[in-house]
């Protein structure tokens, strides 16, 4: 028996969420119905598609094979919907963006608010995760990354460069030993990422500077900035975050100035989806303009 698209949608949701209840929330149906639909699909195919473990619902080898075909079918359906929606003057439906939390907290809210204002029927979801977004499992329609992926069938577009500098509060600097060089950072409490949870080498700022101890660590940029604004130490901060934290002061700007880049990553199968193409264009332009605006505000 050939699975129908409705059952495939349920299957894909469970495969991504690893849970009947989470899949039900995504699909807006109750978990019991999700379970019955999966059981019906397994019966029609005469093989189990999931095993249940402490980690949730895990795909069996048969489920993995079905997943590949399900993703292809989903891409075809999305392309068809995108072609029809592309003729509309405004964007509609739902689009989910994955992004590291610095971008998600300090850039995307303004950019997405502007896009939503121009497209009242469009729903945007921002997925802020301190890890790489899994596009192959459709965790998001597109993702902003700090490294350009080299594997997988993906469309990669550079968005913008951005700057980072060492920062601290004036109160902290006045009550601790003066910092005239990178070597002078040694007696200071450094704030940064949890070393073994850095998901992209581009984020390993402190190692690049030569700092070997992180006294206050978090996998979240927002938490790091909160700590430094409380006068707890010194950290590396994106220049575009500084207008939101006016009590932070750049230090050693003549010795430490880092440059990184944002990239937009999309499914290769979406390259003919006019709706997503239009959104991607608005998103990249918006991020580029917002980085430029905020960095100008953060200039000495």
Question: Are residues 197 and 150 both part of a single domain?
Answer: no
Give the C-alpha separation, 110 to 243, whole Å. Answer: 13
Question: Are residues 181 and 33 both part of a single domain?
Answer: no
Q: What length is written for the chain?
A: 300
Question: Are residues 124 and 156 both part of a single domain?
Answer: yes
Give the C-alpha separation, 86 to 49, whole Å. Answer: 35
- Select from 25, 54, 84 the last residue of a domain: 84
* Domain extent for 144: 91-160+261-298
Q: How far is CA 18 from CA 14, 35, 49, 54, 299, in A?
A: 5, 12, 12, 10, 46
Question: Are residues 255 and 265 both part of a single domain?
Answer: no
Question: Are residues 254 and 174 both part of a single domain?
Answer: yes
- Select from 39, 61, 84 the last residue of a domain: 84
What is the number of domains present in the chain?
3
The whole-number pLDDT of residue 179 equals 94
The whole-number pLDDT of residue 133 equals 65
Question: Are residues 151 and 234 both part of a single domain?
Answer: no
Question: Are residues 187 and 154 both part of a single domain?
Answer: no
**Contact call for residues 234 and 168 (beta carbons, < 8 A):** yes
- DSSP sequence for 18-64: SSHHHHHHHHTS-HHHHHHHHHHHHHHHTS--EEEETTEEEE-HHHH
Question: Are residues 135 and 110 both part of a single domain?
Answer: yes
Give the C-alpha separation, 76 to 68, whole Å. Answer: 13
How many Cβ atoms from other residues are within 10 Å of residue 119's Cβ?
Answer: 20
Pairing of strands 248-251, 154-169: antiparallel
The whole-number pLDDT of residue 267 equals 84
The whole-number pLDDT of residue 137 equals 65
The whole-number pLDDT of residue 93 equals 87
Question: Are residues 182 and 291 both part of a single domain?
Answer: no
Residue 286 belongs to a domain with what CATH number?
Answer: 3.40.190.10
Residue 10 belongs to a domain with what CATH number?
Answer: 1.10.10.10
Q: How far is CA 165 from CA 77, 176, 221, 225, in A?
A: 45, 19, 14, 12
Reported pTM: 0.74
Question: Are residues 166 and 47 both part of a single domain?
Answer: no
Question: Are residues 147 and 265 both part of a single domain?
Answer: yes
- Select from 84, 115, 142 the last residue of a domain: 84
The whole-number pLDDT of residue 170 equals 95
Question: Are residues 184 and 247 both part of a single domain?
Answer: yes
One digit per residue, the tens of pLDDT, for the chain of length 300 reads 567 788 888 998 898 888 999 899 888 899 999 999 999 999 989 999 999 888 889 999 999 889 888 877 776 676 666 555 555 677 888 899 999 999 999 999 999 999 999 999 999 999 987 666 666 666 788 999 999 887 777 889 999 999 999 999 999 999 999 999 999 999 999 999 999 888 888 889 998 998 989 999 999 999 999 999 999 999 999 999 999 999 999 999 999 999 999 999 998 878 888 889 999 999 999 999 999 999 999 886
């Amino acid at each position: 028996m050939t699975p129908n698209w409705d059952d495939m949608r349920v299957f894909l949701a469970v495969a991504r969420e690893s849970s009947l209840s989470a899949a039900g929330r995504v699909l807006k149906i109750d978990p019991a119905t999700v379970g019955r639909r999966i059981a019906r699909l397994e019966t029609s195919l005469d093989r189990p598609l999931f095993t249940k473990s402490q980690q949730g619902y895990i795909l069996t080898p048969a489920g993995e094979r079905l997943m590949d075909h399900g993703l292809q079918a989903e891409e075809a359906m999305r392309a068809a919907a995108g072609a029809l929606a592309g003729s509309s003057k405004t964007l509609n439906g739902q689009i989910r963006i994955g992004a590291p939390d610095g971008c998600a907290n300090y850039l995307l809210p303004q950019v997405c608010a502007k896009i939503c204002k121009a497209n009242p029927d469009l729903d945007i979801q921002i997925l802020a995760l301190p890890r790489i977004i899994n596009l192959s499992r459709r965790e998001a329609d597109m993702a902003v990354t700090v490294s350009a992926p080299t594997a997988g069938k993906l469309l990669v577009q550079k968005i913008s460069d951005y700057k980072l500098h060492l920062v601290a509060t004036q109160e902290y600097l006045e009550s601790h030993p003066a910092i005239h060089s990178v070597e002078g950072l040694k007696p200071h409490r450094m704030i940064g990422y949890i070393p073994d949870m850095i998901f992209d080498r581009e984020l390993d700022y402190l190692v690049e500077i030569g700092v070997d101890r992180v006294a206050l660590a978090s996998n979240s940029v927002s938490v790091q900035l909160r700590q430094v604004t409380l006068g707890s130490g010194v950290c590396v901060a994106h220049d575009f975050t500084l207008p939101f934290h006016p009590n932070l002061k750049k230090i050693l700007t003549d010795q430490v100035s880092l440059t990184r880049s944002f990239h937009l990553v999309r499914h290769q199968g979406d390259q003919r989806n006019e709706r997503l193409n239009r959104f991607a264009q608005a998103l990249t332009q918006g991020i580029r303009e917002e980085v430029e605006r905020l960095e100008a505000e953060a200039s000495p």
